[in-house]
Amino acid sequence: MKPLLCLTLIWTFCLVMLGAYVRLSDAGLGCPDWPGCYGQLGAPDEAHEIAQASAQFGGDVEPAKGWKEMIHRYFAGGLGLLVLAACCLLWQKRQRLSRLSILLPLGVIIFQALLGMWTVTMKLMPIIVTAHLLGGMALLALLTWLAARSSFTPQLPSHLRPILIISLIAIVLQIALGGWVSTNYAALACNGFPSCQGSFAAPAGLSEAMQPIRQLGQTSNGESLTIHHLAAIHWLHRLGALLLLACLSALIWQLRKTSPRWAGLIAAALLLQISLGIANVWLDLPLPLAVAHNGGAAILLMLVVAALAQVLPVHQQATNNAFNTTSPKHSGA
């Protein structure tokens, strides 16, 4: 069971990274249909296939982008089989796992497939693409939880649960804001750091830019988004980064005595993610760093979820405290 869970978790992480690469390399519409690509199992790359695809679907046919999208879909299909196998095995040997937590990954996989289809059919509508990103992160978090709960004995004190939950919420919100930046192509809208367009105040148009139901590059009224709208989206993401920094700093501070190892891991991941975010702004969003920034968010999410899975239940913490108080070793007998 442990090797299968480990493989499924690594596969999911790689798929999240691959999805980021497809999105950031502007290949999200490399195939204008779903689940195939121009009506076939692979992207058309022969001259006659390209001519036929262009005649049938219209527009320019770009085989390189099509193959990126199809490889992503094949990886997603393989992950579906792995998750099904892992959930079936966990169902038979469930320990400290609820039935709902075992079934949830399968539900997320199905919904992710629908979001993948809508991403294409709705022409990269930002709310759909952002939801697709969040679905991948949710699947990664669920599998991390299952792997941690089924493989390791809880050992962190129960008083850490509130700050861990707050930190997890902050990470999810920041991932959502990061996804909104990426899906609206606003990563380079703020030309400078730490200020945005020479100011620390919110750029104009924030409320319009955050409207969820609108097409790519447009406001909800159908007008074109301006650079100020995009800068407002990026500015909000930076504000979220400050909130996340405060939450994770508080978590690291509380972890430093009870579990220095967890504190060190989360601190290292946080430092890496901050460095990647700043480097992306200063270096004009090079593709490897942009993809790595998505990976850094996934690592932070996995670490906090795994730490939360290691928190002792309240009743078990009370039992341990009572044992430590009355045992001869601690009573001086």
Convert the pLDDT of each residue in 184-195 to its tens digit: 999 999 988 999
Query: Cα separation of 275 and 56, whole Å?
Result: 46
pLDDT value for 329: 47
For residue 331, the model assigns a pLDDT of 45
Predicted confidence band of residue 313 (pLDDT cuts 50, 70, 90): confident
* Residue 330 pLDDT exceeds 90: no
DSSP bridge pairs for 37: 40
Q: Confirm whether 62 is a catalytic residue.
A: no
Instruction: Catalytic residue, from 49, 62, 69, 223: name it.
Output: 69
- What is the DSSP track for 146-198? HHHHHHS---B-GGGHHHHHHHHHHHHHHHHHHHHHHHTT-TTSS-SSSSBTT
Q: Give percent above pLDDT 90 in the chain.
A: 83
Give pLDDT tens digits for 23-67.
999 999 999 999 999 999 999 999 999 999 999 998 889 999 999
Q: Domain spans of the chain?
A: 1-151, 156-333
